[in-house]
Structure 1
Amino acid sequence: MNNLLWIALGGGLGAMARYGLSGILPSTLIPYSIFGINISGSFLIGIVMTLAMEYGWLGERGRLFIAVGVLGGYTTFSTYMLGVHQLLTQGAPLAGIGYALGSLILGMAACWAGVIGTRILVQARLNAAGNTDVEEIDTTEGES
């Protein structure tokens, strides 16, 4: 249970850091703030895991707090990049490339599915209520 507490504390800090940094650059077609967060998270997990695994620094709780907690809350992209790096450098280049491309393609597909699925569900609710405007949906239905 102690390890979960360290991960949760780190995750909260990482999520707050991501939130705080996500609005630094103006919102454009390309989300530069998020891009920077993802790239910096990848850089940081490379540092943390090298220090932890190759040099024995940080200890288990420190690694869990920083790598799993803080960087996990900051971005899951860092863990994804670490996995790709490990596959590529441990003699599994095809698996590394497959993992990288598969994650990218399936991640985009999941995002599209979420967008389209949400649109379908909202439109169905509008149609059932006889409304045509999203603001007119009764979101209190079923609450007491």
Structure 2
Amino acid sequence: MTAPRTEGLRVRPARRAQAPVVAAVALGGGAGAAARYAASLRWPTAADGFPWTTLWVNVAGCAAIGVLMVVITETRAAHPLVRPFLGTGVLGGFTTFSTYAVDVRGLLDDGAAGHGLVYLAATPIAALAAVWSAAATTRRALRRRQP
């Protein structure tokens, strides 16, 4: 009997080994979602208004992801749970592309198609620009600090 071929297949770790990662993502996600909710309470969007808070939360979260990824992948070895906790958990819970989709639909349903389409296009463009510029700025700043 021959062993099954495993070349090119991704081997999954045992469930028990994944438990700390799942816990880190869950704890971080709760913290990030709470921060996002706090932002929505601090800067509420009027029923017929443009969803500025959600837009800026997504842009800020993406910028933070850009900084985080440069710091933990290019400058120093990080604990294996840092990326799941901060990147996937905190910042994944903080950014809210599901609310973005609901906001777009709400603007379109409320007859604000112009605002809805601007928001639909502006959010991913601003988010991508934020992550790219934050990563580039972080790289530059870290290079200047090196002797």
- Per the normalisation by structure 2, the TM-score is 0.50
Describe the SS at the equivalent of 1:30.
coil
Which AA in structure 2 matches 1:7? Answer: V
2:76 paired residue among 41, 56, 63:
56
2:93 paired residue number: 73
- Per the normalisation by structure 1, the TM-score is 0.51
2:30 paired residue number: 12
Tell me how far apart the structure 1 counterparts of residues 79 and 44 of structure 2 sit (CA, whole Å): 39
Describe the SS at the equivalent of 2:80.
helix
Structure 1 unaligned blocks of 5 or more:
78-103, 117-144
Aligned partners of 1:14 and 1:70 also within 8 Å = yes
Describe the SS at the equivalent of 1:59.
coil
Task: State the shift of 1:57 in Å.
Answer: 4.2
* Higher RCO (C-alpha 8 Å, min separation 6): 2
Aligned partners of 2:33 and 2:93 also within 8 Å = yes
Relative to 1, partners in 2 of residues 1:73 and 1:63: Cα closer, same or farther, differing over 3 Å?
same
Describe the SS at the equivalent of 2:42.
coil
Task: State the shift of 1:52 in Å.
Answer: 1.1
How many positions carry a matched residue from both structures? 86
2:115 paired residue number: none
Runs of 4+ in structure 1 off by over 4 angstroms are none
Q: Over the residues paired in the alignment, what is the CA RMSD in angstroms?
A: 2.8
Describe the SS at the equivalent of 1:27.
coil
Tell me how far apart the structure 1 counterparts of residues 52 and 96 of structure 2 sit (CA, whole Å): 17
Aligned partners of 1:11 and 1:71 also within 8 Å = yes
Tell me how far apart the structure 2 counterparts of residues 19 and 26 of structure 1 sit (CA, whole Å): 10
2:43 paired residue number: 25
Aligned partners of 2:21 and 2:84 also within 8 Å = yes
Relative to 1, partners in 2 of residues 1:57 and 1:47: Cα closer, same or farther, differing over 3 Å?
farther
Is residue 46 of structure 1 aligned with residue 66 of structure 2?
yes
- Identity of aligned pairs, percent? 35
